[in-house]
């Protein structure tokens, strides 16, 4: 094909521009790829501390140890690495633990203690104030109340079914922990950071009164507060347990205000009524 000189020059200029654009694109693509890789590395590093694996269903971090320990020794080991024995609250979490152990070098045929113990003939997670809401007991489990089967292990050979065992028996160790302080600063990574239980949660001081993953109070709220974490005061004209009671319309004030805990009228009663809640009949 014969090209005129002006056509040849035009094609040459277009070719040069395309080559420059290609090199520029390659440079941008390389830079973008490097940045993306850096972000991925940063995200992976920030999700859990080194040697720990993130459980996407709980947002916590897991680590297995090839050490033979009884329940008390296993818990002490976990405490030393800023964690505790694993706590499982759903079938998804239970399945993930099975997959996690299958991919580890020490999961084959091993058993692991859970942070679950019998107390008053029921099973509780560590210091939680309520019975375990989710369980995955094996056949004929848990065993009847005895002095030697108060702890619980996961049976790898039996698809992680749970078995009540003697706390002094030995198993391998799997620990769970929350992300560290630095990791918790990156909220979008789906990590769960330990929540402080509200002082308005019901419960005994010696028990953990809320689920540390989300702050939800196990036994509900003290009078005057509402919400799963019991941090919200009762709303307008409401008071008492679960904020179910109404303030008296006989409370004095523009908004008829009353105390959100006990319903007492803050500014006294309107004319003709007596009592803390201004409910003691009308005087004539």
Q: What is the pLDDT of residue 69?
A: 94
The domains of the chain are located at 53-177, 195-233, 235-284
pTM: 0.62
CATH of 53-177, one of 3.40.50.1110, 3.10.100.10, 3.40.50.620, 2.30.30.240: 3.10.100.10
Tokens of 128: 């939680």
CA distance readout (Å), 279 to 95, 101, 276: 57, 63, 8
Query: Which is it for strands 84-85 and 171-177: parallel, antiparallel or unpaired?
Result: antiparallel
CB of 123 closer than 8 Å to CB of 142? yes
CA distance readout (Å), 138 to 23, 111, 165, 239, 260: 63, 14, 12, 45, 47
Q: What is the pLDDT of residue 279?
A: 87
Q: How many CB atoms lie within 10 A of CB 112?
A: 25
The tens place of each residue's pLDDT in the chain, 284 residues long, gives: 555 556 556 667 767 776 776 666 565 544 444 444 333 334 433 468 888 888 888 888 999 998 899 999 999 999 999 889 999 988 999 888 888 887 777 766 678 999 999 888 889 888 777 788 889 998 888 877 666 788 999 887 777 789 999 999 999 999 998 876 555 655 544 556 777 888 899 887 667 778 777 788 888 899 999 988 899 999 888 999 989 999 998 998 877 689 999 999 998 998 889 999 998 876 54
Q: What is the pLDDT of residue 39?
A: 39
CB of 64 closer than 8 Å to CB of 106? yes
Q: What is the pLDDT of residue 217?
A: 86
What letter does residue 131 receive in the DSSP assignment? B
Question: Which residue from 75, 97, 176, 88 is spatially nearest to 132, judged by alpha carbons?
Answer: 88
Alpha carbons within 13 A on the beta-carbon side of 17: 6
């Amino acid at each position: 094909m014969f090209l005129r000189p002006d056509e040849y020059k035009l094609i040459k200029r277009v070719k040069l521009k395309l080559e420059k654009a290609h090199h520029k694109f390659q440079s941008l693509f390389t830079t973008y790829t490097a940045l993306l890789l850096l972000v991925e590395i940063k995200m992976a590093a920030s999700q859990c501390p080194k040697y720990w694996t993130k459980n996407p269903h709980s947002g916590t971090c897991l680590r297995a140890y090839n050490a033979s320990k009884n329940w008390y020794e296993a818990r002490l080991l976990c405490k030393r690495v800023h964690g505790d024995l694993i706590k499982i609250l759903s079938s998804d979490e239970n399945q993930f633990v099975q997959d996690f152990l299958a991919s580890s070098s020490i999961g084959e045929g091993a058993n692991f203690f859970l942070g679950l113990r019998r107390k008053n003939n029921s099973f509780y997670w560590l210091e939680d104030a309520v019975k375990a809401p989710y369980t995955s007991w094996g056949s004929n489990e848990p065993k009847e109340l005895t002095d030697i089967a108060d702890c619980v292990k996961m049976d790898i050979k039996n698809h992680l079914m749970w078995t009540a065992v003697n706390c002094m028996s030995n198993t391998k160790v799997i620990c769970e922990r929350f992300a560290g302080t630095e990791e918790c600063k990156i909220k979008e990574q789906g990590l769960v950071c330990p929540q402080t239980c509200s002082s308005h949660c019901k419960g005994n001081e010696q028990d953990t009164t809320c689920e540390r993953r989300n702050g939800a109070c196990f036994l509900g709220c003290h009078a005057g507060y509402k919400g799963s974490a019991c941090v919200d005061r009762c709303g307008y004209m409401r008071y008492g347990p679960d904020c179910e009671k109404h303030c008296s319309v006989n409370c004095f004030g523009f908004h008829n205000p009353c105390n959100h805990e006990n319903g007492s009228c803050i500014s006294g009663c309107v004319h003709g009524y007596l009592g803390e809640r201004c409910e003691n009949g009308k005087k004539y």
